[in-house]
Amino acid sequence: MSAKTKPAASKKKKSVSPSLIWFEIPAGDPARAKTFYNGLFGWKIKPLPGMKDYWHIDTAGEDASPDGGLLKRKGPEHRGITSYVNVASVDKSAAKVQKLGGKICVEKTAVPQMGYFVVCSDTEGNTFALWERNEKAE
């Protein structure tokens, strides 16, 4: 086949693996939580530039293992570690969550120049988040 008759390279969007890519730990006392997780796992926890009351957790794992965030608890009901799952579209995935009986807890929210997230709960009341990488997010 010549270059002219060769099929054009696929212009499909690169597929996104629905894998865990981030987690967040809410804390009433972030300094205490930092001491606890550093002592338990050796995680390095440092302020995330430009974000108030939010710290980056470096788990020092393999490239495929997720890092996370430590944040100031937003209220007494804000409990438990939230896992973020990588998806191609938070809009489509959020619609699917609802179709399957789950609920949307926090509507689509932009993280400027990084992407979008939606916080959901499954049919068992467990909270998780969907994450769509998009550097054009505002």
Distances (CA, A) of 71 to 12, 14, 17, 40, 136: 37, 32, 26, 18, 24
- Segment 41-52 shows an average pLDDT of 92
Q: Tell me, yes or no, whether 24 lies in a domain.
A: yes
Q: Tell me, yes or no, whether 9 lies in a domain.
A: no
**How many Å is the maximal CA-CA distance in the chain?**
66
CB neighbours (10 Å) of residue 34? 19
**Do 106 and 73 fall within a single domain?**
no
Report the pLDDT value the prediction gives residue 5, as an integer from 0 to 100: 45
**Do 75 and 111 fall within a single domain?**
no
- Segment 58-73 shows an average pLDDT of 88
pLDDT of residue 3 exceeding 80: no
Higher pLDDT, residue 94 or 4: 94
**Do 70 and 101 fall within a single domain?**
no
- pLDDT grade, residue 13 (50/70/90)? low
- pLDDT over 90 percentage in the chain: 72
Q: Residue 48: CB partners within 8 Å, gap ≥ 6?
A: 54, 55, 56, 69
For residue 36, the enclosing domain spans 17-81
pTM to 2 decimals?
Answer: 0.81
SS3 54: strand
Mind listing the pLDDT tens digit for each residue in 102-131? Answer: 999 999 999 999 999 999 999 988 999 999
